[in-house]
Amino acid sequence: NAGVTQTPKFQVLKTGQSMTLQCAQDMNHNSMYWYRQDPGMGLRLIYYSASEGTTDKGEVPNGYNVSRLNKREFSLRLESAAPSQTSVYFCASRLGGVRGEQYFGPGTRLTVT
């Protein structure tokens, strides 16, 4: 079992460029999440998908779009990158239930210049 995988691990973009961050889980989890982590800000929820076929905005969705491609895959797209989107991005998945653990991927470190 690989758990939650994310690609790429590192990326540098110029302002205005676009890119898609990929996430996949092999644990048959229903819910998937995208977070960003900035120094002193903790983890903030960008978008989530409670189940296959549904997506909803989190705390900081502006500038991002998501696609729940199937039960395994949940991608995050930056249409026109801005320096404020420089961050570490984590994908997570969760089976369900109030005690359900969120399993996190290793993260993507994105720099926008």
Partner 1 sequence: TQLLEQSPQFLSIQEGENLTVYCNSSSVFSSLQWYRQEPGEGPVLLVTVVTGGEVKKLKRLTFQFGDARKDSSLHITAAQPGDTGLYLCAGGYGGSNYKLTFGKGTLLTVNP
Give the residues across from 43 on adjacent strands.
Answer: 37
Which residue among 13, 92, 110, 112 contacts partner 1 (CB under 8 A)? 92
> Rounded to whole angstroms, what are the CA distances from 93 to 17, 63, 88?
28, 22, 17
Which residue among 21, 34, 64, 107 contacts partner 1 (CB under 8 A)? 107
Give the residues across from 90 on adjacent strands.
Answer: 35
User: For 57, how many CA atoms within 13 A lie in the half-sphere containing its CB?
Assistant: 6
Which residue among 59, 70, 77, 83 contacts partner 1 (CB under 8 A)? 59
In the complex, least distance from residue 23 CB atom to partner 1, rounded to whole angstroms: 11
Q: Which residues bind partner 1 (CB under 8 A)?
A: 4, 31, 33, 35, 40-45, 48, 50, 56, 58-59, 90, 92, 94, 96, 98-107
